[in-house]
């Protein structure tokens, strides 16, 4: 059992405690001695989010309300059974999504009136620019579950623009006039929004959108996990941004696998806050805020982490399973600076003078530095 005792200081906990929770965050109960100063929470678990339960599915969110440091982006974790529909809707924020399990049929309309439909599965992503009307439906045995990312931390999944809500809030005679039909035809309209509801399972062998609809010339989906990864010492990295998925102009991401004991190297992102989502494994992250301030957090599957723009950090796999995670950014491009690359590209004598290394160690260190990025260092016991 972890206790706040370190280097002969501190004491055990004799009052009330939540042991399950403390065991999930050993570095939060007993922070490393390098932690210092005040840093607001950079961790939230979807397990603590309110779950909106609906027919055929559910949704839970992590926004600036749940996690005040979630400023750039908000996240929604959603489940749709086979045939269940997240109804036709739109919103001010752009939407990026990663499918965690199962398969999903998406539809979206572009500004030129082009219609887009795709059936996608685990590891695939989609992106809908601001205001584009769209729908989601679970397909295949078991339906799907996915992570949605919105490019504003103030996003609220419960205040999107829904087809059924709109029609319920519009005089029936106006609805009838709009479709050039008799008002009586609309007597059966839902009196409130449907949001998520069970639909008929679609035949995925044929398109759902009408054959006379014009087809979009844009690509709204991308196979992220099918990308061949950048294989590095301690894991794999797959990056998706406007370089390989041009429509995603406000969200960039990296899918990262870190082997047990390996380290996503010390680095920072110059262009945006990082919104991390942990899919599996156990990870430790220290966020360095400058001014003598740093704080360490522990994460596991279902947790969200934040690293504000330009703050130094690492991700260490401290468990026995691989860490699988997404680093998501409100930016058109994935950008990071590597500490090791930076030092390997700086005047060696200057680097030595910063680090106070003894003569032989200094030479060894300088020889080991490379002016390249090595995003995940393997577990090396030198």
From 91-99, 177-185, 235-243, 297-305, give the range in contact with Mn ion by CB under 5 A.
91-99
HSE of 94 in the Cβ direction (CA atoms, 13 Å)? Answer: 20
Taking CB under 5 A as the binding criterion, the range among 73-81, 87-95, 106-114, 225-233 that sits at the site for Mn ion is: 87-95
Query: Is residue 283 classed as helix, strand or coil in its secondary structure?
Result: strand
> Binding to Mn ion (CB under 5 A): which residues in 110-139?
none
The binder of Mn ion chosen from 236, 274, 298, 316 (CB under 5 A):
274
Residue 16 CB, shortest distance to Mn ion, in Å, is 35
Nearest-approach distance from CB 84 to Mn ion, in angstroms:
15
Which residues in 207-266 contact Mn ion (CB under 5 A)? none
Cα angle, residue 236 at apex, residues 47 and 279 outer, rounded to 5°: 10
Residues 86 and 105: their CA atoms lie apart, in Å, by: 10
Q: Where are the alpha helices (DSSP H) in the chain?
A: 19-24, 26-29, 163-168, 172-179, 339-344, 348-355, 359-368
Residue 136: CB minimum distance to Mn ion, A: 7
Q: Which of 82, 327, 335, 353 is catalytic?
A: 327
Contact (CB, 8 A) for 140 and 103? yes
Q: Is 157 in the site for Mn ion (CB under 5 A)?
A: no
Choose one: 14-22, 48-56, 214-222, 274-282; the region binding Mn ion (CB under 5 A).
274-282
Burial 114-124, CB ≥16 within 10 A → b, else e: ebbbebbbebb
Closest approach, Cβ 204 to Mn ion, in A, equals 21
Told to judge if 327 belongs to the known catalytic residues of this protein, a careful annotator would answer yes
Q: Are 56 and 84 in contact (CB under 8 A)?
A: yes
Residue among 29 and 326 whose Cβ is closer to Mn ion: 326
Q: Between residues 72 and 274, which has the closer beta carbon with respect to Mn ion?
A: 274
| Shortest separation between residue 54's beta carbon and Mn ion, angstroms | 15
Show the tokens assigned to 369.
Answer: 């530095």
Contacts of 7 (CB under 8 A, 6+ apart): 33
The span of 9-17, 72-80, 163-171, 270-278 binding Mn ion (CB under 5 A) equals 270-278
Considering beta carbons, is residue 274 or 303 the nearer one to Mn ion? 274
95 binds Mn ion (CB under 5 A): yes
Closer of 29 and 87 to Mn ion (Cβ): 87
- Choice between 46 and 195, CB closer to Mn ion: 195
Residue ranges with strand state E in 233-352: 235-240, 252-258, 263-268, 274-280, 282-290, 293-300, 303-307, 313-317, 323-329, 337-338
Min dist CB 91 to Mn ion, Å, is 6
Q: By CB under 5 A, which span of 227-235, 273-281, 347-355, 367-375 interacts with Mn ion?
A: 273-281
Is residue 107 within 8 A of residue 134, CB to CB? The reply is yes
Count of chain residues binding Mn ion (CB under 5 A): 2
Give the strand order in the sheet containing 43-45: 43-45, 303-307, 274-280, 323-329, 252-258, 235-240, 230-232
Structure tokens at 335: 């950008």
Q: Which is nearer to Mn ion, 186 or 337 (CB)?
A: 337
| Binding positions for Mn ion, rule: CB under 5 A | 95, 274
Active site residues: 327
């Amino acid at each position: 059992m972890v206790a706040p005792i370190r280097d002969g200081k501190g004491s055990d906990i004799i009052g009330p405690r939540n042991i399950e929770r403390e065991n999930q965050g050993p570095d939060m109960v007993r922070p490393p001695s390098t932690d210092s100063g005040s840093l607001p929470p950079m961790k939230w678990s979807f397990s603590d989010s309110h779950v909106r339960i609906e027919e055929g599915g559910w949704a839970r969110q992590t926004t600036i309300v749940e996690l005040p440091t979630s400023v750039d982006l908000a996240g929604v974790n959603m489940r749709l059974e086979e045939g269940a529909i997240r109804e036709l809707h739109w919103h001010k924020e752009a939407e990026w999504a990663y499918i965690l399990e199962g398969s999903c049929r998406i539809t979206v309309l572009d500004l030129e009136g082009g219609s887009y439909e795709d059936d996608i599965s685990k590891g695939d992503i989609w992106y809908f620019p601001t205001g584009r009307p769209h729908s989601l439906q679970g397909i295949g045995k078991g339906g799907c579950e996915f992570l949605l990312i919105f490019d504003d931390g103030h996003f609220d999944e419960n205040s999107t623009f829904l087809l059924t809500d709109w029609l319920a809030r519009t005089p029936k005679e106006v609805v009838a006039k709009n479709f050039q039909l008799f008002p009586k035809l609309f007597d059966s309209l839902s009196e409130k929004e449907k949001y998520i509801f069970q639909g008929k399972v679609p035949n995925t062998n044929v398109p759902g959108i009408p054959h006379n609809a014009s087809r979009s010339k844009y690509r709204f989906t991308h196979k992220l996990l099918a990308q061949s990864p950048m294989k590095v010492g301690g894991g794999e990295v797959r990056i998706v941004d406007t370089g390989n998925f041009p429509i995603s102009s406000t969200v960039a991401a990296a899918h990262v696998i870190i082997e047990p004991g390996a380290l996503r190297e010390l680095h920072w992102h110059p262009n945006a806050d990082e919104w991390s989502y942990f899919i599996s494994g156990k990870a430790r992250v220290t966020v360095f805020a400058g001014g003598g301030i740093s704080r360490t957090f522990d994460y596991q599957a279902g947790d969200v982490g934040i690293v504000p723009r330009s703050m130094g950090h690492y991700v260490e796999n401290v468990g026995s399973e691989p860490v699988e995670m997404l680093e998501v950014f409100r930016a058109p491009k994935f950008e990071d600076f590597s500490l090791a690359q930076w030092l390997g590209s700086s005047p060696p004598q200057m680097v030595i003078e910063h680090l106070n290394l003894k003569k032989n160690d200094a030479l060894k260190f300088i020889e080991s530095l490379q002016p390249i990025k090595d995003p995940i260092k393997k577990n090396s016991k030198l």
